[in-house]
Chains A and B, each alone.
Chain A
Amino acid sequence: MAPASRQHTKALSELAKRHGLLLVFVLVVVAMLLAKPTFGTYQNIVNVLQQNAVIGIIACGMTFAIILGGFDLSVGSVTALASVVGATLMIDVPTFGIPLGIAGAFASCLLVGAVNGWLIAYAGVNPFVATLGTMTVVRGLIYVATNASPRFGVPYSFTSVGLGYIGGIPVPAIIFAIVAVTLGFVLHKTRFGHYVYAVGGNVVAAAGMGINAFRIRFAVYVLVSACAALSGIILIGQTASATPQAALGYELTAIAAVIVGGASLGGGRGRMIGTIIGVFLLGVVANALNLFGVSAFWQPVATGLILIFAVAADGFSKRGTFVLGK
């Protein structure tokens, strides 16, 4: 190849490497706009925002855990915990039930986050084992406490959190946006976020330079649980109730969104904007299947294929033979 054209190819591949994910996302959106006029309607866009806010908030927290070189399988159970604890307090406590429910949801979830953090950071338990354990234990406790039946009767006013709109935008989407911007700031602009990258990238080097890797790990797992708590509270607002089976499998969808967004399970890599695009890429594809009348059972199939494709494309692009993904 001539030097100029090689330069050109290199610039293109650099562009694709940096923005490949965004490119794919834009292509999918454009294709959908052309194929299905209903896709671009206000109502459908609102649906997509509404349906992906809960998983999106969890994915924002998960981004920290994955950059740290771990992940958190307990987020689905923790989301359900927040929802059941919060709804129960809101239903059973006559005055100040709502603030109490929110406080109780956060408190119980932060406790689980602290257990995860302690196990992983201080006891040295592998994140897979630790969070698989808490995932199972928490879900089991929820079933025991609720006798596996849902709780109905949350004050109707609380549905404004799950179903309300501000300026035409669903409240959950606004909460998601606030979480994404805040956590994006923490991850990319503050010393804490910087240390998450350092510990995830090379814990020996980070600790060698005096960074307290234990504290960073502990804090990240608490943060992930806090995000799950927020999601659980929104779930209460979407149904005015809580089900013990809520948020089953959310952990894998959130992890998939983060990985599709360009983070690496090896740690040290990933960006908040990637996670957000990852969430909406999976969300838009699910929405597309729905609009085309494809059975909802196909949705996990699509998610799985996108995940595999994203990771494979990333691997290829690193070897320079095939360019896509981030």
Chain B
Amino acid sequence: MTEVLLRADRINKRFGAVVALNDVSLELMAGEVTGLVGDNGAGKSTLVKMFSGVLRPDNGTIRFDGENVDFASPAAARGRGIETVYQDLALVGSMAVWANVYLGRELLTGPAFLNVLDKRRMISNARDMLERFVARVPPVDEPVESLSGGQRQIVAIARAGAWGSKLIIMDEPTAALGVAETRAVEEVIHGLRDRGLTVLVISHNLDQVFRITDRIWVLRRGEVIGSRETGNTRPEEIVAMITGAVPADRLG
């Protein structure tokens, strides 16, 4: 019953002589959390940059939500409902949490030509929006810079989820975080899935990948090695796929 939200078909990308992606094909199922794993330099970041509009494939096609897409910019990808959470780049530290949640989408009040901010409504809404994804909501009128790294990440992720994106992409969302904070971020990712969002997450932490994903795709040296349902595989198998101890089992 699950349908494909995004299908990448025979994507190629070179940087000069470096072949970053070689005929990569992959599918993301709607409503699932998909993990993308692979060694350093396997091409994971390059691949997700195609989906978030940062890079364009040399050739190959990306089908998203039933249509072929070719994003000229991150704004174009966001316009189609693909939101990417960048660590640290996403938030204005000196501004309050509510202001970041509403950044670029401010609610206004009063006569139209004045563009007066409706702060009261944004503050109370922002709290509600974050509550949908996290149990312990960070204080919404504190500046983001006063939050911990994990709380910031949670704000950035929840913001992406709150604005009705269809696909949320995260590249190593917990790389810089401690254990407790990592768990809190994972909880938000679960929150996104519970609300029917599709998530693509790159992670080096296999324990984490097994905790949060429904399906795992493995890249090695720019090629897809294969995918597994998380419930039907073991870490040993994924490690073998990552390191090359298992030959590629191309699908389709």
Spell out A's residues near B (CB within 8 Å): 189-192, 194, 197-198, 200-202, 204-206, 208-211, 268-269
Contact call B106/A202, Cβ cutoff below 8 A = no
Contact call B115/A192, Cβ cutoff below 8 A = yes
The segment from B85-93, B127-135, B198-206, B224-232 found at the interface with A is B85-93
Residues of chain A with a CB closer than 8 A to B115's CB: 190-192
Known A197-B92, A268-B94; judge A191-B74 contact (CB<8 A): no
Spell out B's residues near A (CB within 8 Å): 74-75, 78, 86, 89-95, 99-100, 103-106, 108, 114-117
Contact call B117/A194, Cβ cutoff below 8 A = yes
Known A198-B103, A205-B89, A205-B103; judge A190-B114 contact (CB<8 A): yes
Residues of chain B with a CB closer than 8 A to A269's CB: 94
Known A194-B106, A198-B103; judge A268-B75 contact (CB<8 A): no
Known A190-B116, A206-B103; judge A201-B74 contact (CB<8 A): no
**14 A-B contact pairs sorted by A residue (CB < 8 Å):** A190-B117, A191-B108, A191-B116, A192-B115, A197-B99, A198-B95, A201-B95, A202-B94, A205-B89, A205-B91, A205-B103, A209-B105, A210-B78, A211-B103
* New A-B contacts (13) at CB < 8 Å, excluding given A198-B99, A204-B89, A205-B103: A190-B114, A197-B95, A201-B92, A202-B92, A205-B90, A205-B91, A205-B92, A208-B90, A209-B103, A210-B78, A211-B103, A211-B104, A268-B92
Contact call A209/B95, Cβ cutoff below 8 A = no
Contact call A201/B93, Cβ cutoff below 8 A = yes
Residues of chain A with a CB closer than 8 A to B116's CB: 189-191
Residues of chain A with a CB closer than 8 A to B89's CB: 202, 204-205, 208
Residues of chain A with a CB closer than 8 A to B108's CB: 191
Contact call B93/A202, Cβ cutoff below 8 A = yes
Residues of chain B with a CB closer than 8 A to A205's CB: 89-92, 100, 103
Contact call B92/A206, Cβ cutoff below 8 A = yes
Contact call B104/A210, Cβ cutoff below 8 A = yes
- Closest chain A residue, CB of each to CB of B114: A190
- Closest chain A residue, CB of each to CB of B96: A197
Contact call B92/A189, Cβ cutoff below 8 A = no
Nearest Cβ distance between residue A239 and chain B, in whole angstroms? 37
Contact call B95/A208, Cβ cutoff below 8 A = no
Nearest Cβ distance between residue B2 and chain A, in whole angstroms? 31
Contact call A208/B74, Cβ cutoff below 8 A = yes
Residues of chain A with a CB closer than 8 A to B99's CB: 194, 197-198
- Closest chain A residue, CB of each to CB of B84: A208
Nearest Cβ distance between residue B194 and chain A, in whole angstroms? 25
- Give A211 to B78 CA distance when docked, in angstroms: 14
Contact call B74/A268, Cβ cutoff below 8 A = no
Nearest Cβ distance between residue A138 and chain B, in whole angstroms? 32
Residues of chain B with a CB closer than 8 A to A189's CB: 116-117
- Give A173 to B86 CA distance when docked, in angstroms: 48
Residues of chain B with a CB closer than 8 A to A198's CB: 92, 95, 99, 103
- Give A202 to B117 CA distance when docked, in angstroms: 20
- Give A204 to B156 CA distance when docked, in angstroms: 14
Nearest Cβ distance between residue B82 and chain A, in whole angstroms? 13
Residues of chain B with a CB closer than 8 A to A268's CB: 92-95
Residues of chain A with a CB closer than 8 A to B103's CB: 198, 205-206, 209, 211
Contact call B104/A209, Cβ cutoff below 8 A = yes
- Closest chain B residue, CB of each to CB of A204: B89
Q: What are the 4 closest A-B residue pairs judged by CB atoms, nearest first?
A: A209-B104, A268-B94, A201-B92, A201-B94
- Give A241 to B137 CA distance when docked, in angstroms: 61
Q: Which of A190, A201, A206, A210 has the most CB of B within 10 A?
A: A201
- Closest chain B residue, CB of each to CB of A197: B95
- Give A269 to B143 CA distance when docked, in angstroms: 11
Residues of chain A with a CB closer than 8 A to B74's CB: 208
Nearest Cβ distance between residue A264 and chain B, in whole angstroms? 9
Contact call A197/B75, Cβ cutoff below 8 A = no
- Closest chain B residue, CB of each to CB of A194: B117
Residues of chain A with a CB closer than 8 A to B86's CB: 208
Contact call A191/B94, Cβ cutoff below 8 A = no
- Give A87 to B90 CA distance when docked, in angstroms: 50
Nearest Cβ distance between residue B66 and chain A, in whole angstroms? 25
